[in-house]
Amino acid sequence: MRWFFLILAIASITVALAIGPRGEKFSTPPFMLFPDMDNQYKVKAQKPSEFFENGQGARVPVEGTVPFGYAPPKEGVSAAGPLDFSRGDDYLNTGLFGDFYGKGFPGEIKLDETLLARGKERFRISCSPCHGMSGNGAGIVSKYWAIPPTANLVDPRVKSMPEGQIFWTITHGKGLMGPYNGVLSVKDRWAIVAYLRGLQAASGN
């Protein structure tokens, strides 16, 4: 019986200790048995960070790198500093004249064999899995992922699109097709447009 009272007393104290402080305010963080990743190390916008030596949370891009979504600085135009990446709002960089898709290739792009060869290589890497080697939309992906169907690029509809619109589509994507501005340089995108024109001419559509 003695033992029973002793165990009861210990159990009561344990329960009181565990439940008693509920609702009280503490200055220290609570003890978490299962943290569930509630607390994570991250940098909040405009906040300092202890992780970096100078305590600055917002970082300056590493010299010589281009952040995702930015075009590399144009040739012959030196960037004023590490933050100054030219996005470029001209036809070469956007495929647009003002609010309209442009027709033809920009003057900076030299249409020659080297460009077409580059376009062929890039098209086969980046576009053919979905659009097919010949651009007819019957790439390997279409065999497994048919809804909605991948566009047939040698269709008269796409054939009649201005070059700027195709460039714009590669840059920004469309529907389930993602943007390629972070993967393909401006020149490579134009090279693909040029190669695609070749595929369309060869298709006889």
* Site residues, ligand HEC (CB under 6 A): 126-127, 129-131, 141, 150-151, 153, 158, 166, 169-170, 174-177, 180, 192, 196
Amino acid code (one letter) for 90: D
Find the shortest distance in angstroms from Cβ 76 to ligand HEC.
26
CB 112 within 8 A of CB 177: no
Find the shortest distance in angstroms from Cβ 183 to ligand HEC.
8
Find the shortest distance in angstroms from Cβ 148 to ligand HEC.
6
Nearer to ligand HEC, 49 or 126 (CB): 126
CB 163 within 8 A of CB 193: yes
Nearer to ligand HEC, 92 or 130 (CB): 130
Nearer to ligand HEC, 1 or 146 (CB): 146
Find the shortest distance in angstroms from Cβ 58 to ligand HEC.
32
Find the shortest distance in angstroms from Cβ 130 to ligand HEC.
3
Nearer to ligand HEC, 47 or 157 (CB): 157
What is the residue-wise DSSP string for 16-44? HHHHTTTT---SSPPP-SS-TT-S---PP
Q: What is the DSSP letter of 100?
A: E
The closest of 100, 79, 89 to 162, measured between CA atoms, is 100
Nearer to ligand HEC, 71 or 127 (CB): 127
With a CB cutoff of 8 Å and minimum separation 6, the contacts of 87 are: 70, 71, 93
Block residue for tokens 């595929």? 199
